[in-house]
Amino acid sequence: MVGKARRLAALVCVMVLAAGCSQPAGDEDGESTSGRLQIATTVAPITSIVANVVGDLADVTGIVPEGTNSHTFDPSPGVAELLSTADLIFINGLKLEEPTLALAEDNQKDGAEIIELGTLTIDEDEYVYDFSFPEDGGKPNPHLWTDPTLVRNYAEIVRDEVSAADPDNAGAYSDNFDAFSARIEEFDRVMRTSFDTVPREDRKLLTYHDAYAYFAQTYDWTVVGAIQVSDFEDPTPREVADLIDQVRNENVKAVFGSEVFPSPVLEQIGRETGIRYVDVLRDDDLPGEPGDPEHSWMGLMRFNYVTMVESLGGDAAALKAFDVSDVAPDEAEYPQ
């Protein structure tokens, strides 16, 4: 009941931000009266990354409720007040949060900055286009945060931006970043240790939502396909038949669905090919509840990669033993 009450309270908070729920105090010009840096973020993984850098030295408030389709999320008008008081607004960019970006641009206060972490992390020639994100649609795959080597870049950008906005705490931000960076490097090592237990020819992903394109490039996996097409509708029968043929031809061992978006199509592919259908992968929904050690970007990644490794017959012991807790106090607001 406590968890449900916390989720309900956080959701009500997002819906009534204009009424001041958990809203940082500000004067009539939108300036914070607490003297602390006011930061707005979008999806929960980004909120967690920012929180690991700023700790309890700034007020961090997420916008996109966990478990929500971030591609189609349309913020309520009340979110405009949060955006109007923020000194820094961290979004993923790469055209992931277009309605939120538009609202932020319309409501940001003088001197506030909107930082697109993904857009700043890779160049256009590194954009990935695929089944869910075709090039003719003009939107590259935005899921850089599933690749820890790119998340380190996210955190570095956050460190530089918060240090410039709040120089009195620059030393602490830098220390937090160093600790987070070291943890990411260790995570990268245990990921590779666990992945090495899965034969290279079995490291193939057919998922509901293609969130692993950049991860696959870095860690030598193959994305066979994704069920969710660019318009977020189900694929056509012909596309499903082609995926079934591909699964059989490439000897794919498992297909992976999302706990947030159940996929009858993936179930069908699993039945017709006789392979395992795993429907628990998480997209933007961090494990546990806010305040729990596993409720973090790293906790999300560990959960997904343990699931993948074990579903493909590998040994995820190194990943399971890894500490995913935050390196700094996480006092961010995570809308549920």
Residue 299, domain CATH: 3.40.50.1980
Q: Percentage of the chain with pLDDT > 90?
A: 68
DSSP codes of every residue in 248-291: HHTT--EEEEESSS--HHHHHHHHHHT-EEEEEE-SS--SS-TT
Q: Which residues contact 282 (CB under 8 A, 6 or more apart)?
A: 258, 259, 260, 300, 303, 304
Residue 75 sits in the same domain as residue 161: yes
Residue 182 sits in the same domain as residue 224: no
Domain hosting residue 75, numbered range = 2-128+147-186
Residue 179 sits in the same domain as residue 283: no
Residue 182 sits in the same domain as residue 262: no
pLDDT tens digits along 288-315: 999 999 999 999 999 999 999 999 999 9
**Is pLDDT larger for residue 214 or for residue 257?**
214
pLDDT recorded at residue 240: 85
Mean pLDDT of 106-135: 94
Residue 249 sits in the same domain as residue 167: no
pLDDT tens digits along 170-199: 999 999 999 999 999 999 999 999 999 999
pLDDT tens digits along 24-80: 445 555 455 568 999 999 999 999 999 999 999 999 999 999 988 788 888 988 899
Beta strands in the chain (DSSP E): 37-41, 58-62, 88-91, 113-116, 204-207, 222-226, 254-258, 276-281
pLDDT recorded at residue 34: 65
Residue 165 sits in the same domain as residue 309: no
Residue 260 sits in the same domain as residue 307: yes
* Predicted structure pTM score: 0.88
Residue 17 sits in the same domain as residue 162: yes
